[in-house]
Structure 1
Amino acid sequence: MNRLLTQVLPLLLLPFVTYAQIRLPRLISDGMVLQRDKKIKVWGWAAAGEKVSLRFRQKEYHTVADNNGSWAIQLPPQGAGGPYTMTFSASNTIEINNILLGDVWLCSGQSNMELTMQRVQDKYAAVIAAKGNSMIRQFTVPDKYDFNQPHNDLEAGEWQEATPEHILAFSAVAYFFAREIYEKYQVPVGLINSALGGSPVEAWLSEDALKAFPAPYAEAMKFRNQALIDSIEEADRTISGKWYARLHGQDQGLKEHWSAAALDDAGWQQMPVPGYWADQAPGRTNGVVWFRKSVHVPAAFINKPVRLWLGRIVDADSVFVNGQFVGTTGYQYPPRRYELPAGVLKAGSNTIAVRVVNTAGRGGFVPDKLYAIATDTDTLHLEGDWKYRQGAVMEPLRGATFIRWKPLGLYNAMIAPLLHYAIKGCIWYQGEANTGRAQEYTALFKALISDWRAKWQQGDFPFLFAQLPGFMEPVSQPAESDWAALRQAQLNTLQRTPRTGMAVTIDLGEWNDIHPLNKQDVGHRLALQAMRLAYGDKHVVASGPLYQSMQVKGNKAILKFADNGSPLTTKNGKAPQYFAIAGPDRQFAWAQADISGPYEITVWSDQITQPVAVRYAWANNPEGANLYNQAGLPASPFEAVIKR
């Protein structure tokens, strides 16, 4: 009997061994946008040797899965249009609906690409309230890393239309870019959003490309050891857990309920908000500081939707109004915007209490942000003296090891699964994580562009990127700047890499926020680059002035700029500002400058008799830089050096 079962059982199982249901990658799903006017590859998995059929636009295509169960069908180029349906058939049938043919753009980089419309919803309320556009769609790639092997699929994700239901989840830069492209060319636009906040450029390089960079490559190989990753993460959790446990246990404010409306805070000290307690009596300490303010609220604020704005806070906060908890934010970057439930505020005196936790650096309230109680029609500002008291003093918390940012990991999990999907090009917003390493960035960034183009096998597709905006406090004298050096590396990449375009954003930053809110103009400037480079519109002025060459005559430097169809001017009608010049000692001094031709500027300083270098807008945040072209686009910051 056992022998009979042994002989019969394989025959019974044969259908299940021979046939397996076909499976499609996540990208090939309802609502997808396929690249028009290019050969289109659709692919998936089935049993080895299984026949797979596809019906699309009244035509049928056939293939057979290989020995590994992989199969692919290549469709001929298709014009823009839709919606269409695809039907895949094998031992099972899969139908994909609502397919559009248009232009597909990969959107990658770090947090300023990742930042969503939800984050900027107050700045662009009218845009978000509009009916939306089903011709613009986004697929968000899940955040994931892997150092061991490239993935062939994504673990989650779906195509979503830019309608009120979904638009808040769209990348703001990518959405404004896509909206402008659609409005001009009236073709569907698909956005593949594969970005991760804080990521350096080397995290997005393949293993092949990383081999040219020994240090990042060695680090990537080190993190193939899962035991190492587990031990680091466990150590980080332990350190963080113990630190917060001690913090909460020592916090007198929690023990004595300093959030209570009726608390007697007459003995508390005062400090101005916004501001940092490092500049006040507590000094440069870490831990918990509680803040309280009594506010008289007019009756006009009652029984209306009310929002409490608390700017930005370093690092984390918990907020109470009249003793009732109204919200918390766990890290420093998001704007503090708390919707107050009905009945929390009352006409007359109200108490706001804020528990601020600072793990390292300068804790407090970031200046030049909105601190207010606001309705749609009225605003009650909260700047001024607040009472404060320290709840707990702690040593700085050691920073965690962000393994997801290590070299190679993001490429394997967030780029490799996309490589079969035809695209129009890429938009990229990244660089903040590499400031301080500008010298290697030029080579790394150029390698990334070449790497992705090689892996996609679509030739030199357009690669458009945003140059870093201004950030941090301005300075009064010429100085070295990591952010300026990184911008120069980006400019070098533009000039040395074919079919690239750079959106200059130096005037779109905020000194106190690494995530400036003006994403519409970033999207617009990237769209201008796309119009000229990807769509061949030669009448579009896509860029502001770009430095080209320099010659020295006596004590004057003559700078030539590329003729991009729009002559030089200044934004405010004054002489060009924020130029610095140096002699052989490389000590820069502020310089005078004059527009001496449509694409020429003369720069000099009475202090420098033998110029060898000129810089423009060379600072973390060069406020006052005013060189533009007549199309209203700013000049890229740059350094020009006479080579001897």
Structure 2
Amino acid sequence: MKLKLILFLSLCSSIAFATVKPASIFTDHMVLQQQSNVAIWGWAKPASKVKIVTSWNKSSYTVSSDQAGKWKVKVATPLAGGPYEIELNDGEKLVLKDILIGEVWFCGGQSNMEMPMKGFKSQPIIGSNEVILKSSNPNIRLYTVPRSSITERQDNSKPSQWKLSEPEAVSNFSATAYYFGSLLSEMLHVPIGLINDSYGGSTIEAWMSPDDLKPFTEVKIPAKGDSIKEVSRTPTTLYNGMLYPVIGYGIKGAIWYQGESNYERPQRYEDLFQAMVSSWRQHWDNGEFPFYYAQIAPYNYPLIAKPGTNYNSAYLRDAQRKSLSKIPHSGMAVLMDIGEEKSIHPANKKQGGERLAYLALAQTYGIKGFGAFSPTYESVSIEKNTATIKFQNVPNGLTSFGKTLSLFEIAGADQKFYPAKAAIKGSSVIVSAEEVKIPVAVRYAFKDFVNGDLFGNDGLPVSSFRTDNWEQ
């Protein structure tokens, strides 16, 4: 009897090993990017042939696994539609079912991307309960990459499942990503796939590879055997455990909401951000895919700052603002009007998610006739005691919605800023202060916490900005 049990367990083990196994991100209910050559990969018996058959066109692909059993193949996808199936066979057959073809977006960042629709404990999301209740939509599919912080690069992520949009799944899914995808679904009328790959409290360095970080000599890259003292802030560890395993999955583009954990080091963020996006695009093998990001919202950062320090997160927002000109095919959703003084997690996630969707709908999908881009600072000119600020992306002018502009400051050569009088003139703002006879620099909303009061006529807020490059 004992021998029979051993033989039975051995047979079960060999069958499990023989069955072809796709990477964790390839499951029933997934969405594949339409009209593309999308990669599918996984493991099988070492040095074996794996046959892949796609039901939408009955095409057959054959690929050989390497000595470790790993294989990878690209398959052609049609126009949006479904459901379809993919059959994988290396002698044992596995069928992935209920696959849709549509638009797939990668959604990354830290806690403001990770924050689920139901909110964090005692940190609600405005209006989410009704949205969750009405969220059933089989054409929206959700995938969350499980948390993993590790010093070694992983070939596969921890197991997870693609889920259909319905109340229980949506309540636990990224609110920012859901609002983004929901608006895309409404406007594009195609299946939408959302991949949430985020970790609360994470620094940008954690999402970058060792090669990405080599030029940044101040960053300590952990070795294989090092302990991870801060799971979301140790360089490379989230890249290793959560990003590298899914890089290459066919996507249309990416949205990103991160920066709060880098507020103490704004002087390097601009370069780190550019390097990260460039590296992702290179290794994704998907061209310069669109990359849209949320600027961090105003918040009273001294509440979490180390004792004796005095940081102003407006410098980090400014680094994000300036990144627009350095990262091709990018866009920034400005959140100057929804920040909260005592919460780093704004409750109004709908604005952030939908503003990211505006960028995609306008710039990626070519929809015209609506406001998608916040006005951005272009230039300053000085005449006598007055500074004139010009803006881009103001086709229909600027507005304060009837309120007095109160967030402009102006300084002379002494670098001392004074509250300024500011008035809108079409697509420009005229700024002056009695204390400054010869203006040199202007700043707008350049504080940790403010409620922005300058908007485009479409209601999209202007980012905080400065015309100087002074250290303080």
Answer whether TM exceeds 0.5 for this pair.
yes
Spell out, residue by residue over 1:397-455, the C-alpha distance to the aligned partner (whole angstroms, 9 max, x if none): xxxx4244200000111110111211111111111101121111111111111111111
Counterpart of 1:171 in structure 2 is 174
Partner Cα separation in structure 2 for residue 511 and residue 180 of structure 1: 28
Q: Which residue of 2 aligns with 1:459?
A: 287
The one-letter code matched in structure 2 to 1:196 is Y
Task: For 1:120-139, list aligned pairs within 5 A.
Answer: 120=124, 123-130=127-134, 132-139=136-143
Aligned CA distance change for structure 1 residues 546 and 80 (closer, same or farther; 3 Å)? same
122 and 629 in structure 1: CA distance in 2 versus 1, 3 angstrom threshold: closer
| Structural mapping, 1:398-409, within 5 Å | 401-409=229-237
- Residues 1:485 and 2:315 are matched in the alignment: yes
Deviation at 1:481, TM superposition (A): 5.4
Q: Distance in 2 between matches of 1:481 and 1:585?
A: 21
Aligned partner (choices 633, 637, 640) of residue 460 of structure 2: 633
Counterparts of 2:210 and 2:47 in 1: how far apart (Å)? Answer: 31
Q: Distance in 2 between matches of 1:42 and 1:127?
A: 33
TM-score scaled by length of structure 1:
0.66
What's 1:282 paired with? Answer: none
Q: Where in structure 2 are the equivalents of 1:473-552 lying within 5 Å?
A: 482-552=312-382
What's 1:98 paired with? 98
Distance in 2 (CA, whole Å) between partners of 1:428 and 1:181 is 16
8 A contact 1:531–1:540 mirrored in 2 = no
Gapped regions of structure 2 (runs ≥ 5): 1-10, 303-309
- The letter of the residue matching 1:595 is I
Please give the secondary structure, in 2, of the residue aligned with 1:482: coil
Alignment correspondent of 2:37: 39
TM alignment of 1:13-24, pairs within 5 A: 20-24=18-22
Instruction: Judge conservation of contact 1:541–1:565 (CA < 8 Å) in 2.
Output: no
Deviations 1:284-318 (A, max 9, x none): xxxxxxxxxxxxxxxxxxxxxxxxxxxxxxxxxxx
2:211 maps to a residue whose letter is: D
1:244-323 to structure 2, matched below 5 A, reads none
Aligned counterparts, 1:234-249, within 5 A: none
What is aligned with 1:72? 72
> Are the equivalent residues in 1 in contact too, given 2:201–2:232 (CA < 8 A)?
no
Q: Which has the larger radius of gyration?
A: 1
Cα distance, 1:180 vs structure 2? 0.3
- The 1:545/1:220 distance shift into structure 2, 3 A limit, reads same
SS at match of 1:440: helix
CA contact 1:26–1:157 (8 Å) conserved in 2:
yes
Aligned-pair identity in percent equals 38
Task: Please state how far the C-alpha of 1:98 moved relative to its aligned partner.
Answer: 0.7
1:98 and 1:424 map into 2 onto residues whose CA distance is 20
* Shift in alpha-carbon separation, 1:568–1:526, aligned structure 2, 3 A: same
Farther-moved stretch of structure 1 (452-461 vs 195-204): 452-461
Deviations 1:5-27 (A, max 9, x none): xxxxxxxx9xx79x933211111
Deviation of residue 121 (structure 1)?
A: 6.2
Per-residue CA shift, 1:86-128, capped at 9, x if unaligned?
1111110001011011111111111010000121467322211
Residue 578 of structure 1: aligned partner: 407
**Does the 8 Å contact 2:126/2:348 carry over to 1?**
no
- Is 1:414 the counterpart of 2:417 in the alignment? no
- Residue equivalent to 2:8: none
Deviating above 4 A after TM superposition, structure 1's stretches of 4 or more consecutive aligned residues are none
Write the deviation string for residues 117-154 of structure 1: whole angstroms up to 9, x where unpaired.
Answer: 12146732221111511211111111111223x21111
Check whether the contact 2:200–2:232 (CA below 8 A) recurs between aligned residues: no
Return the offset for 1:536: 2.2
- Listed one character per residue, the Cα deviations across residues 309-359 of structure 1 (whole Å, up to 9, x for unaligned) are xxxxxxxxxxxxxxxxxxxxxxxxxxxxxxxxxxxxxxxxxxxxxxxxxxx
List aligned pairs for 1:86-235, cutoff 5 A: 86-119=86-119, 120=124, 123-130=127-134, 132-148=136-152, 150-216=153-219, 219-221=220-222, 223-226=223-226, 228-229=227-228
| TM-score with structure 2 setting the length | 0.90
Q: Per-residue displacement from partner, 1:484-543 (whole Å, max 9, x unpaired)? A: 111001001112211111000011111111112110111111110111222122433212
Pairs aligned (count): 444
